[in-house]
């Protein structure tokens, strides 16, 4: 199995761009898809990015995903920050032993 | 739009077995493309995948929980279930059921149900 490591918290001001990283401990980040979820307090998570860089319908184009093989990391970028983006964000991937979530990153919009 | 709804006791005594059921509506559980999963979230903590089951009965469990977890599926009632044995206070969490699609992405989730195991 492997671990996905995320920063505990990130912050930004309205209108700014923030990027959240998700680093895979072993095995290539590019070998399996990475997905990103947003979770607001009291609610179930929802997908904001799936399959590395795909946006589900209804998710603003301000949300984008990428994968960097050199850093063995995936990245979620949110541009034009809005107060409504304040939430916890989780990355998720998998291997033959199962599904794995990152520890989560709390995004604060200042 | 697929909908999932968890149900089960909100309070389970230590050493007993936690049992939850998830009913799937507006979608069929017997799809080759999907698994059906349980995920939990300890209070104030992150998400933990518990396990996934396909309509055929094929299962995948989190290695850290495998010895205490079992899942089953009832295609006639379009639902699937979770059992966690020998629970302790450390199993207190909100339990979510979710659809695990062909991208291995959890695209539809239930609202979650809080299960408390008193210490």
Q: What percent of chain A stands above pLDDT 70?
A: 100
Residues A62 and B45: their CA atoms lie apart, in Å, by 27
DSSP for B27-74 reads S-S--TT-EEEEEEE-TTS-EEEEEEE-TTS-EEE-TTTTTTEEEEEE
Contact B99, B4 (CB under 8 A): yes
Per-residue model confidence (pLDDT) at position B84 = 98
The count of C-alpha atoms lying within 13 angstroms of the C-alpha of B59, restricted to the half-sphere facing its C-beta, is 17
Structural tokens at position B25:
């509506």
What the block records as the tokens of B77 is 């009632």
**CA of A66 vs chain B CAs: smallest distance (Å):** 16
Per the CB < 8 Å rule, is A98 touching B47?
A: no
- Closest-CA residue of B relative to A8 is B46
Search chain B and give the residue with CA nearest A88.
Answer: B46
Segment B9-27, tens digit of pLDDT:
999 999 999 999 999 999 9
How much of chain A is in helix, strand and coil states, percent to nearest 5?
A: 5, 50, 45
pLDDT digits (tens, 9 = 90+) for B60-98: 999 999 999 999 999 999 999 999 999 999 999 999 999
With an 8 Å Cβ cutoff, are B104 and A46 in contact?
no
CB-CB contact of B29 with B55 (8 Å): yes
Per-residue model confidence (pLDDT) at position B26: 92
Q: Is the Cβ–Cβ distance between A64 and A104 less than 8 Å?
A: no
Give the C-alpha separation, B99 to A30, whole Å: 23
| Regions of chain A where pLDDT drops below 50 | none
φ and ψ at B91, to 5 degrees? -95, 0
Provide the pLDDT for residue A52.
97
Q: How much is the pLDDT for A38?
A: 98
Percentage of chain B beyond pLDDT 70 is 100
- Other C-beta atoms lying within 10 Å of the C-beta of residue B85: 14
pLDDT value of position B100:
93
Nearest to B110 among A44, A51, A102 (CB): A44
pLDDT number for residue A69? 84
């Amino acid at each position: 199995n492997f671990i996905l490591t995320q920063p505990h918290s990130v912050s930004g001001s309205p209108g700014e761009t923030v990027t959240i990283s998700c680093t895979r401990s072993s095995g290539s980040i590019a070998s399996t898809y990475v997905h990103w979820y947003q979770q607001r307090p009291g609610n179930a998570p929802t997908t904001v990015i799936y399959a590395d860089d795909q946006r589900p319908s209804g998710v603003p184009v301000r949300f984008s995903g990428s994968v960097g093989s050199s850093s063995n990391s995936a990245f979620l970028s949110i541009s034009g920050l809005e107060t409504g983006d304040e939430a916890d964000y989780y990355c998720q991937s998998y291997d033959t032993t199962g599904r794995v979530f990152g520890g989560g990153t709390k995004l604060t919009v200042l | 739009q697929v909908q999932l709804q968890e149900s089960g006791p909100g309070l389970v005594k230590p050493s007993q077995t936690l049992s939850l059921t998830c009913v799937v509506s507006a979608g069929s559980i017997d799809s080759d493309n999907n698994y059906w999963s349980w995920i939990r979230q300890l209070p104030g903590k992150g998400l933990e995948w518990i396990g996934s089951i396909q309509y055929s009965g094929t299962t995948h469990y989190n290695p850290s929980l495998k010895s205490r977890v079992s899942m089953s599926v009832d295609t006639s009632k379009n639902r699937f279930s979770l059992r966690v044995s020998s629970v302790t206070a450390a199993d207190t969490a909100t339990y979510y059921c979710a659809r695990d699609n062909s991208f291995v992405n959890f695209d539809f989730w239930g609202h979650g149900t809080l299960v408390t195991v008193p210490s």
